[in-house]
């Protein structure tokens, strides 16, 4: 049996809403540790990998590992009809491998709504991605920034053009774009003090200057998810896609991987 319980207002619904910008269905793998979800956008440019640990929920039970294709669009539609404070239960039994049941219960237990959602085939969403610990060393630069700053950057950059250059060296991280109507250049000086301020950008490591050019259209879902968290971690590499991560409690994460248009080592945009 698989069962999780949470109070509406938790991060899950917000995350699912943002995933809808990428896909309508996603594959969910459940284990006793928590559940993971993979989603690949229709253009195959963005890949999302998330892990919600069991600790993120009020209660969580998974007796046996199972994989389920979920119609995220239908699930979100149902969750939208609930009120804040409702208790959400998602349940799958060993007797019925074709459906999951989602129940919404008002805090005073007066009203209950339930839906049986038919499982779908979402195996096309699955990619084989290496463990982050094995991949991390391929990232020449990793830094953290307040997600509000990241979101504001996403907003101001999208005004001008789709192509955005992210450049990083040991001193500065910059986001820039230029188009017919002008240009935007945002730079953040890295905070290197022992006591970083809350609003600062903190460099985890950088091995020389590096710049990535991305089509910012593909960052829409990522910018939406970052709103739900305090911090985002961004990884740049010439061998790997751009990585943007938000941390869910201690062990969980949402990681976006976005294929860049261009990756250059040894130079930064001025």
Which is nearer to other proteins, 224 or 240 (by Cβ)? 240
| Residue 136 burial (10 A CB sphere; 0-12, 13-18, 19+) | middle
Of 120, 110, 6, 96, the closest CA to residue 52 belongs to 6
Residues between 11 and 50 that touch other proteins (CB under 8 A):
40, 43-47
8 A C-beta contact, residue 68 and residue 100: yes
Six token digits for residue 218: 């593909």
Which is nearer to other proteins, 123 or 156 (by Cβ)? 123
Closest separation in Å from C-beta 262 to other proteins: 9
The site that binds other proteins (CB under 8 A) totals a number of residues, namely 19
Which is nearer to other proteins, 207 or 262 (by Cβ)? 262
**CB neighbour list of residue 77: distance below 8 Å, 6 or more residues apart:** none
Report the DSSP beta bridge partners of residue 62: 2
Closest separation in Å from C-beta 110 to other proteins: 44
Closest separation in Å from C-beta 44 to other proteins: 4
Residues between 119 and 138 that touch other proteins (CB under 8 A):
123, 126-129
Pairing status of strand 182-189 against strand 172-179: antiparallel
Report the DSSP beta bridge partners of residue 215: 163
Neighbours of 242 (CB within 10 A): 22
Residue count (the chain) = 270
Which is nearer to other proteins, 44 or 109 (by Cβ)? 44
Binds other proteins (CB under 8 A): choice among 215, 231, 238, 247: 215
Only one of the segments 76-84, 149-157, 183-191, 255-263 lies at the binding site for other proteins (rule: CB under 8 A); that segment is 255-263
Which is nearer to other proteins, 24 or 106 (by Cβ)? 24
**How many angstroms separate the CA atoms of 242 and 48, rounded?**
12
76 touches other proteins by CB under 8 A = no
Q: Which residues here bind other proteins, judged by CB under 8 A? A: 40, 43-47, 123, 126-129, 215, 240-241, 257-261
């Amino acid at each position: 049996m698989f069962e999780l319980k949470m109070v509406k207002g938790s991060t899950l619904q917000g995350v699912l809403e943002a995933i809808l910008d990428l896909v309508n269905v996603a594959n969910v793998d459940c284990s006793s540790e928590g559940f993971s979800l993979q989603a690949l956008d229709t253009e195959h440019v963005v890949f999302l990998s998330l892990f919600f640990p069991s600790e993120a929920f009020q209660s969580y039970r998974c007796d046996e590992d199972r994989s389920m294709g979920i119609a995220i669009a239908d699930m979100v539609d149902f969750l939208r009809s609930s009120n804040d404070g409702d208790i959400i239960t998602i349940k799958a039994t060993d007797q019925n491998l074709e459906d999951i049941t989602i129940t919404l219960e008002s805090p005073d237990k007066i009203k209950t709504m339930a839906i049986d959602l038919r499982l779908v085939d979402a195996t096309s969403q699955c990619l084989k991605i290496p463990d982050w610990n094995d991949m991390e060393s391929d990232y020449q630069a990793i830094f953290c920034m307040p997600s509000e700053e990241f979101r504001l950057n996403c907003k101001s950059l999208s005004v001008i053009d789709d192509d955005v250059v992210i450049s990083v060296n040991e001193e500065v991280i910059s986001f820039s774009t230029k188009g017919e109507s002008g240009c935007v250049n945002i730079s953040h000086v890295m905070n290197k003090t022992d006591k970083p301020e809350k609003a600062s950008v903190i460099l985890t490591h950088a091995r020389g200057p590096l710049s990535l050019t991305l089509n910012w259209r593909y960052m829409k879902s990522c910018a939406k998810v970052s709103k739900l968290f305090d911090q985002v971690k961004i990884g740049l590499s010439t061998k790997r896609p751009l990585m943007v991560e938000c941390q869910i409690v201690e062990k969980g994460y949402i990681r976006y991987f976005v294929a860049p248009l261009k990756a250059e080592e040894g130079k930064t945009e001025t």
